[in-house]
Amino acid sequence: MDIIATRIDNETIEISVGSSKTVLSVPEIEQLQKNLAQLRGTLLPAVTLTPAPKGQPVYAIPDPVWKLDPEALHTGMLLQLRNPEHGWLSFLIPNDEALKMAKVLTEAVEKNLESFASYGLN
């Protein structure tokens, strides 16, 4: 069965499933995305726990808008990342994992800066 989505204008799309068609507004699209994502989380096979292998192309959002709310809960940090296609994605990061992330990010940035400096790119 073919599923085709076509942009009609800046505020609507048309979805065709087989011979059926429907037009959806932005709020309806967002609700459908949310419902599909929640349902996908219940299906098998589950989304893999490992990211794409190194060297395999990935689709990434460059320089996403983000917000960190360290006071959301005493047990962790609320990290929110803006995806222009899926909206705001929220993650509750336990404190111990937040510390690991901070260390890994700091080390990665320092390594990148060292690489740039060695090539005279700073």
pLDDT tens figures, 30-87: 999 999 999 999 999 999 999 989 899 999 999 999 999 887 677 889 999 999 999 9
Q: Are residues 34 and 68 in the same domain?
A: no
Assign 16 a pLDDT band (cuts: 50, 70, 90). very high
Q: Does a structural domain hold residue 13?
A: yes
User: What are the pLDDT digits (tens) for 84-116?
Assistant: 999 999 999 999 999 999 999 999 999 988 876
CA distance readout (Å), 36 to 29, 31, 106: 10, 9, 35
Claim to verify: residue 38 and residue 83 sit in the same structural domain: no
Torsion of CA 75, 80, 65, 49, to 10 degrees: 100
Which domain range does residue 1 map to?
Answer: 1-47
Instruction: Note the pLDDT of residue 52.
Output: 87
| Beta pairing partners, 92 | 78
Residue 57 maps to a domain: no
CA dihedral 89, 94, 98, 100 (to 10 degrees): -130
- Please state whether the predicted TM-score (pTM) of the whole model is above 0.75: yes
Whether 53 is in a domain gets the answer: no
Length of the chain measured in residues: 122
The amino acid at residue 21 is K
For residue 94, the cross-strand partners are 76
In a domain, 2, yes or no: yes
Residue 30: both structure tokens together? 């967002």
